[in-house]
Structure 1
Amino acid sequence: MIDAVLVLNAGSSSLKFALYERDGLALLCRGGISEIGRAGKVKTSGPRAAGLTAGGAPPTGADRDAVTRWLVSAIRRLDGVTLAAAGHRVVHGGARFSAPVRIDPAVMAELETLIPLAPNHQQHNLAAIAAVEAAWPGLPQVACFDTAFHRTLPRLAQLFPLPRELTEQGIIRYGFHGLSYEYIAGLLPDLLGTRASGRVIVAHLGSGASLCAMANRASIATTMGFTALDGLMMGTRCGAIDPGIVLYLLNQRTMSPAAVDDLLNTRSGLLGVSGSSSDVHVLEESTDPHAAEALELFAYRVVREAGSLVAALGGLDAFVFTAGIGEHSARLRRMICQGMAWAGLQLDAGRNDRAEGRISRDGSPVDILVVPTDEELPIARSLERLIGGDASQQGDTG
């Protein structure tokens, strides 16, 4: 019998998952369920993927709770596999949670108070935890936080120039995408040798996008702030803008707070500037000049923010591209590297087009890498550290 651990990353209409063998964390299967509430499409891969879907797909129109119950039931049916624990990506850990934590009612209650800081993510993360508890009562569960990696930020990097009482109430820079950055940081010694402990910028560029400046493989500056709306231009999020624009929209355009929230989070970014799509591949194939301008603005904003991180680091030894756009868009990588040439980035065009692991020219002062990220594996590792030997005693209570 194989003891396994389940990792879940829940969104508003999707559920990503990975199942690992506890002994050595060998991957049993991974996948995602999209269009939750509508078609409920399932994609899986890995040696146990076929067994997972042998009993059929989730019911059409099933909500997130029903989909989560389906997944847990499917894992129960896997021959020779028993589930020992579940781990969850939770976007916001606030000021208190600087490391993964075993979930109990008190932890859940505190995490619920953070929903306003990540309204598009946190509630879905917590709902998945509740759904697993309902489907498998007593199963050990662990929360791993996207904010935790950035708790190493120096105090000045955390502060906003606001009245001190607001800072003391927790209005500080938290940063996000920490699980991705944790995974990349763990790979850097093999990829960069002694430079791994030097001055590194990691660019997590996907539908959500941010940059992280690392020194000694720890976060010292990052572009996202109090919420995941700050920093870079993203797929549908605006990133950093003049806060006076928000006041103008509220006071002069008489938009409601909900309408402004929708504008900044779901109708801006690549989608808003192009007027057509948030998908980089679609924009790259388009002949519409607005699509080209959206891509140019995306690259420009990355270059501007990266310049500020070079200043925070005092120089640059390596630049790492990761996540969907970073891994797959040679065009945007080229535009960003051209804009960062002043900082020592020298791109090899052929290597970039082939998306090789190292895309910098030989002799480039700055190493440029393309590294696929994995936000699930750090959660599985944290599960093992926190659950230890007691998970096997929980058994299947369903």
Structure 2
Amino acid sequence: MKKILVINSGSSSIKFQLIKMPGEIVIAAGLVERIGLDNSAIHYKSKKMNISEQVKIANHEEGLKRIAALLMDTEKGAIANIEEIDAIGHRVVHGGKDFADTIVIDKDVKATIKRLFSLAPLHNPHNYTGIEVAEQVFPNATQIAVFDTAFHQTLPERAYRYAIPNKLLDENYIRVYGFHGTSHKYVAEKAQDFISKKKSKVITVHLGNGCSITAIKNGKSIDHSLGFAPVNGLIMGTRSGDIDQSIIFYMVNTLGYSLNDVSELLHKKSGMLGLTGYSDLREIEEAAANGNQQCQLALEMNAYRIKKYIGAYAAAMNGLDVIVFTAGIGENSSVLRRMVCQDMDYLGIELENYKNNVRSSENRIISKESSKVLVLVIPTNEELEIAKQSYQLLV
């Protein structure tokens, strides 16, 4: 029996779970959200305590230290001392060409993760911070990295290559790597519980502050919206998604932006934030409902982009059996799910509105019985998937 603390540092949040394996028993869990904003908050649940409080959390390091303090708190905590933690499973976004599997973290692994900062500037630095803080707080625990890019190693060459000179792949390893792999893998496997046939064509739609969509044929990732770095594809909280690359040249050569300025803009000032002034979809939906036309248009653009990818991936797989919505927005936004699925009857997608409007933490069907394509909401559990892979490495 092993106690594994899973740390999942996102671009603006930290999810954590302390899980007893292999029994998959969650001892404590929580979320630090809206990091760096005035309304940041921490949520924590264990057998002893269930708390939610709004507290200013300036950065990921501060958030991780608060998590460690809660876990070991004499009144609220879930462990008596740090020796109870056998391993820390870290979600790491970008493994580049170096990591296709889960691995024990050492100095060389850390150096490579740090070298890949430029490929995932909103994530790898925070993942690295999580590792550094965990090494200080839990010095005797085995530190393990689980990479988002690993699940997408099955992409065929025609999907992962870019139409650029071959040497950029051969010498510089520029290709599609893909992200959110632990989430897409987890929900795709859960979707099989709803499918009678073993061979299936599934599209998983991961919608959070970061967003991605994956075509999964017979359990294998065959195409994916994020590429060399996690900024293209769908419209995200602060990231642009797909953009005409000539705009970058125009901004630099004509408008006087530096390359760093453009990177900052596309990663941190674009997406829903750039369109509306808000990065949190809950605020955008509320403003749209109150007549804010910019927010309404942003929602329409967001849904339209997702619909285009669904159509493309249905074509790539020559069919479609299941669509899965997951992650914070995918699981909770009935508005965006409805906008994505409406006027998709050509593909056999029929949403049942009353099912879609139900709030639930359960895996569920939200399509009509007559729908040729099954539409599911499956809450992702990247933490459990990371715990599973970490445990397999320990035993």
TM-score by length of 1: 0.89
- Measure, in 2, the Cα distance between the counterparts of 1:335 and 1:62: 35
Q: Which residue is equivalent to 2:377?
A: 370
- Measure, in 2, the Cα distance between the counterparts of 1:338 and 1:65: 42
Q: CA deviation at 1:235?
A: 1.5
Q: Which residue is equivalent to 1:297?
A: 301
CA offsets 1:281-313 (integer angstroms, 9 cap, x no match): 222222111111111111111111211111111
Which of the numbers 163, 166, 183 marks the counterpart of 1:180?
A: 183
Query: Does the CA contact (< 8 Å) of 2:190 and 2:378 recur in 1?
Result: no
Q: Which residue is equivalent to 2:30?
A: 31
- Measure, in 2, the Cα distance between the counterparts of 1:71 and 1:360: 38
Q: CA deviation at 1:355?
A: 5.2
- Measure, in 1, the Cα distance between the counterparts of 2:183 and 2:258: 34
Note if 1:326 corresponds to 2:330: yes
Which of the numbers 137, 140, 143 marks the counterpart of 2:142?
A: 140
CA distance 1:5–1:227, shift in 2 (3 Å): same
Q: CA deviation at 1:72?
A: 3.5
For residue 379 of structure 1, what is the amino acid of its counterpart? I
Count of aligned pairs: 380
Supply the RMSD in Å over aligned alpha carbons: 2.4
Query: Does the CA contact (< 8 Å) of 2:101 and 2:146 recur in 1?
Result: yes
Q: CA deviation at 1:262?
A: 1.9
Query: Bigger shift: 129-138 or 94-103?
Result: 129-138
CA distance 1:254–1:79, shift in 2 (3 Å): closer
CA distance 1:241–1:61, shift in 2 (3 Å): closer
- The correspondence of residues 1-398 of structure 1 with structure 2, limited to 5 A, is 3-11=2-10, 14-34=13-33, 41-49=41-49, 64-65=60-61, 67-72=63-68, 74-76=70-72, 78-79=78-79, 82-168=84-170, 169-194=172-197, 197-273=199-275, 275-286=276-287, 287-354=291-358, 357-388=364-395
Query: Bigger shift: 349-358 or 323-332?
Result: 349-358
Query: Bigger shift: 179-188 or 292-301?
Result: 179-188
Query: Bigger shift: 149-158 or 342-351?
Result: 342-351
Q: CA deviation at 1:188?
A: 2.0
Query: Does the CA contact (< 8 Å) of 2:22 and 2:388 recur in 1?
Result: no
For residue 341 of structure 1, what is the amino acid of its counterpart? D
Q: CA deviation at 1:354?
A: 2.1
Structure 2 unmatched runs, 5+: none
Aligned-pair identity (%): 38
- Measure, in 2, the Cα distance between the counterparts of 1:61 and 1:301: 33
TM-score by length of 2: 0.89
Q: CA deviation at 1:32?
A: 2.0
CA distance 1:48–1:300, shift in 2 (3 Å): same
3-state DSSP of counterpart to 2:196: helix
For residue 158 of structure 2, what is the amino acid of its counterpart? L
Query: Does the CA contact (< 8 Å) of 1:5 and 1:84 recur in 2?
Result: yes
For residue 338 of structure 2, what is the amino acid of its counterpart? R
- Measure, in 1, the Cα distance between the counterparts of 2:54 and 2:241: 35
3-state DSSP of counterpart to 2:28: strand
